[in-house]
A and B are shown apart, each in its own frame.
Chain A
Amino acid sequence: DSGVTQTPKHLITATGQRVTLRCSPRSGDLSVYWYQQSLDQGLQFLIQYYNGEERAKGNILERFSAQQFPDLHSELNLSSLELGDSALYFCASSPRGSEKLFFGSGTQLSVL
């Protein structure tokens, strides 16, 4: 158990809908990272937050947004969903001063 908690584990929805994925980082970790793993593109960095503020952006679509709350949990919002958004979405956190990233178990999103 990495200590990073993601909910829900599975999500099935229809095209055009909006979903919210939730992540709680390891106790004490201030940084949260979101990654997407799809069959055609592999693993890609989406966005990073540090102590409530956006720190870095990767290949995140405009239809996607994220935030980190004062209690350090983070949410990834995906809207106007398309079939191609079906993927495994990971959240990760890292201890301050460490290079190591610890991942949650992921949310498997299926858009039908």
Chain B
Amino acid sequence: AQKITQTQPGMFVQEKEAVTLDCTYDTSDQSYGLFWYKQPSSGEMIFLIYQGSYDEQNATEGRYSLNFQKARKSANLVISASQLGDSAMYFCAMTYAGNNRKLIWGLGTSLAVNP
């Protein structure tokens, strides 16, 4: 069965440092998509980055990059130069072929950026 695992319930990072949030996935499908979303304390769900299973290059969006290692089934989020506003919950999610973009979610990682 398809599954997303985020093993870090909470992370701390110093402002201006880089941080990596882990995500592993399980699927037998060859075609799938991986997402990262940010949920600040205000509650909204903010799209950060997307990686398709057939994309050869790692996705990047500004300070966010996705370290996609297909053989290891990992899709780690790297945030460079952390800012105080990066403090939030971060969710990894996946869609797969035939599930029509229904997202399967991990349990999330709470990131705290210290000044």
Contacts and interface: CB of A to CB of B under 8 A. Distances in A.
Contacts of B45: 90, 92, 103, 106
Chain A interface: which size bin?
Answer: 20 to 34
B44 A101 contact: no
Contacts of A92: 45
B101 A42 contact: no
A45 B47 contact: no
Of B33, B100, B101, B108, most buried by chain A (CB within 10 Å of CB) is B101
A100 B33 CA distance: 9
A103 B102 contact: no
Contact of A45 (B35, B44, B52, B103): B103
Interface string A61-80: 00000000000000000000
A24 interface: no
Chain B interface: which size bin?
Answer: 20 to 34
Interface in B18-37: 33, 35, 37
A26 to B, nearest CB: 11
Contacts of B37: 103
Contacts of A99: 33, 50, 52, 95, 101
Nearest to B102: A45
A31 B101 contact: yes
A83 to B, nearest CB: 20
Contacts of A101: 35, 47, 101, 103
Given A43-B91, A99-B33, A103-B37, A48 B43 contact: no
A32 to B, nearest CB: 11
B46 A103 contact: yes
The 8 closest A-B pairs by CB, nearest first: A103-B45, A43-B105, A105-B44, A45-B102, A99-B33, A56-B100, A106-B43, A100-B50
7 contacts: A42-B105, A43-B93, A48-B101, A56-B99, A56-B100, A99-B50, A103-B47
Interface of B: 33, 35, 37, 42-47, 50, 52, 91, 93, 95, 99-103, 105, 107-108
